[in-house]
Structure 1
Amino acid sequence: MEDIQRGLRATAGPRLTQTPESYDSARDLNIPFSQWTKEQVCGWLEDYGLGQYISLSRQWVENGQTLLVATPQDFEKEMGMKNPLHRKKLQLALKAFTTKVVEKSAELDHIWVTRWLDDIGLPQYKDHFHEARVDGCMIQYLTVNDLLSLKVTSQLHHLSIKCAIHVLHANKFNPNCLRRRPGGEKQPSPSEVVQWSNHRVMEWLRAVDLAEYAPNLRGSGVHGGLVILEPRFSSETLALLLNIPPQKTLLRRHLATAFSALVGPQAAQEKREYGNATGHMPLTTTAKVKPKKLGFTHFSNLRKRRLDESVDYICPIDSAALAVNGVSCLSSPKHRGLSPHVERQAERKELLTTKGPTNDIKK
């Protein structure tokens, strides 16, 4: 286990996994997956991080078609695949083979994900994500219950992961989209801040004379995406995470001024409006997320429901979506500079709104 941990910490940059298009000539898309031999399938499982299931697979798998027609229940019974996230990983991979559509997120393997957790300030979950072999494609399709099974119960950490996934969507899953170190910018724009890593936020704290509190952000889940995109994340939330005592009013006022300058006037205004709204519930460090309950009718449809029909994704597949489970994922449709893609979608929504009410725009 120590060797594994050392390997995770030593990962200096993104490590790209093999996609269905990049396997060797014995296992490429010139040969349909359904025609792959038992050994080819087992070799692919090994490459894909699911080598622990090869022994039982050899006893069950005849060819690739065996996996293509199998249900999650078959994976559990025949391959001994008890971990539901391993089953999900396999389902997503098989879907890519059948549709011949390789998503950009599929290029990021489970080792890259552990590095990503470091970048967004949640290294304490690396063991759970690594054990579940969570890769980039799974990140894209994570649900509330998936995160709970990964021992992520904090509401703040759910929001952190949601906003981090949104940043990945907006940057087309570019593995190097997060900024880890200060650049030459004197006053960074929100479009730059949204891509800050947890370490970069700590560097900013040092730059605004709050160096003694910066280490308190380790393991907090605070990164630029959370700071900019989540309207409930305010300077008060940051002060709470930094453990700045309430009686230090001048210090908190200084933080509030620096925070407002960092997020920009438009995001700062929405955060104020959101905080003043009736029924507003401020973020805390202790709030927990409850599992999503499935109604009785859902159970009869579980075997039929396709992966892309889930409504419980942490962050929607469409990076332009403005809300997830009732919570804003963009700070504001009027906020500019988050990314070229998000900005165009926001302008389109605003343009359609000015022309009159429409039914095809999600609120």
Structure 2
Amino acid sequence: FSKWSVDQVCDWLEDIGLGQYGLFARRWVSDGQTLLSASPQDLEKELSLKHPLHRKKLQLAIRTLTGKQPERSAELDYIWVTRWLDDIGLPQYKDQFSEGRVDGQMLQFLTVNDLLFLKVTSQLHHLSIKCAIHVLHVNRFNPNCLKRRPGNESQFSPSEVVQWSNHRVMEWLRSVDLAEYAPNLRGSGVHGGLIMLEPRFNADTLAMLLNISPQKTLLRRHLTTNFNNLLGQQAQQEKREYTEAPGYSPLNITAKVKPKKLGFSNLTQLRRRRSDESRDYVCPIESPTSQSGQSAANGVQVRPYAGFRGLSPILDREPARDQVGLEDSKADTSQ
């Protein structure tokens, strides 16, 4: 890469979706080495790379190109990511993600600040994206791992449900005689991964998102029965343990995530580190250890459904590294 000509570098920028910077590259780049040795400040000044996600994309793409092992996630381009947003029930963010050129590899390194920059402020949507990225991790970034259509099966295993798309969840609602409420899940961010992996997501959460009023007790009971059948005994037990733990706070479907206010002690650290260099990943690179004690890191196989422990993106963050504050004061006190 260091020996690539200006033409090769510009063609490559076009290939990765950053062709709009080709003109600046022709003026500044002498060969591939120019990019290899450039700092984020150089990229911003010389290439006019002011969009923080474009800077991140370029740096990750260079790392992949010069790395020894090919990244499976790097094979998923930003157009694939817009289809993935459809699958996880968040199509309203497609324009922002497309403009940010967010590709499969960038999903691995998305931070809370990145999502806020992409105008994703809903706590529930942060959780949705977190769980969906985790499902990609477990499935080795297989582009077709999410199930969109019902099969012939009448019984579902948790490892199948965890891979359901938003559309597939809506199909399930139709199959349990809740067809009139299914369209309410469009744009909700509800998919199989969120249902199975987020400990606070329960039948009441789903009922609220479906706009089934608390007065409709029979309908809610019907939903709860079918929801519990869908989860299976293991996930039901884990969620029950979680809700019975001291300091438990229910999932608030209207809560917002906002940048944490920094005190004076944080200001020097902020000067040293740019906001787009944050390490507060939405879904940490190392996949959580499964209940059998195996880790997905280092290529060890993890069961497709390994429980949600340590997965909740809002609750599992260490306070010292926490980049966000919740408006929901209850969540603050529970932490």
Query: TM bucket by the smaller chain?
Result: 0.7 to 0.9
Alignment match, 2:164: 196
Note if contact 1:76-1:82 (Cα within 8 Å) is conserved in structure 2: yes
Alignment match, 1:343: 303
CA 345–306 in structure 1, closer or farther in 2 if over 3 Å, else same: farther
What is the TM-score normalised by the length of structure 1?
0.78
Q: Secondary structure of 1:35's partner?
A: coil
Shift of 1:201: 0.2
Note if contact 1:37-1:63 (Cα within 8 Å) is conserved in structure 2: yes
2:98 corresponds to 1:130 = yes
Pairing partner for 1:179 from 122, 147, 151: 147
Note if contact 1:45-1:51 (Cα within 8 Å) is conserved in structure 2: yes
2:134 corresponds to 1:147 = no
Rounded to whole Å, the distance in 2 between the matches of 1:199 and 1:173 is: 20
Letter in 1 for 2:303: E
Alignment match, 1:168: 136
Q: Secondary structure of 2:181's partner?
A: helix
CA RMSD of aligned residues (A): 2.5
Note if contact 2:64-2:74 (Cα within 8 Å) is conserved in structure 1: no
Q: Secondary structure of 1:264's partner?
A: helix
Rounded to whole Å, the distance in 1 between the matches of 2:114 and 2:273 is: 15
Identity %: 70
Rounded to whole Å, the distance in 2 between the matches of 1:341 and 1:248 is: 44
How many residues are matched?
A: 301
Rounded to whole Å, the distance in 2 between the matches of 1:189 and 1:213 is: 24
Note if contact 2:137-2:287 (Cα within 8 Å) is conserved in structure 1: yes
Alignment match, 1:320: 288
Shift of 1:207: 0.5
Q: How does 1:253-272 map to 2 (within 5 A)?
A: 253-272=221-240
How big is each residue's C-alpha offset from its partner over 1:84-141, in whole Å with a ceiling of 9 and x where there is no partner? Answer: 0000000101112332332100000000000000000000000000000000000111
Unaligned runs of 5+ in 1: 1-32, 323-332, 350-363
Which fold has the larger relative contact order, with Cα–Cα distance below 8 Å and residues 6 or more apart in sequence?
2
Alignment match, 2:75: 107
Shift of 1:344: 9.2
Note if contact 1:144-1:292 (Cα within 8 Å) is conserved in structure 2: no
Rounded to whole Å, the distance in 1 between the matches of 2:77 and 2:210 is: 32
Letter in 2 for 1:284: N
Rounded to whole Å, the distance in 1 between the matches of 2:304 and 2:14 is: 41
Shift of 1:301: 4.2
CA 193–311 in structure 1, closer or farther in 2 if over 3 Å, else same: same
How big is each residue's C-alpha offset from its partner over 1:275-307, in whole Å with a ceiling of 9 and x where there is no partner? Answer: 22222221122101122567334335437x997
Shift of 1:273: 2.2
Q: How does 1:212-231 map to 2 (within 5 A)?
A: 212-231=180-199
2:9 corresponds to 1:41 = yes
Letter in 2 for 1:341: Q
2:258 corresponds to 1:298 = no
Letter in 1 for 2:143: P
Pairing partner for 1:251 from 219, 233, 238: 219
Letter in 2 for 1:192: E
Letter in 2 for 1:99: G
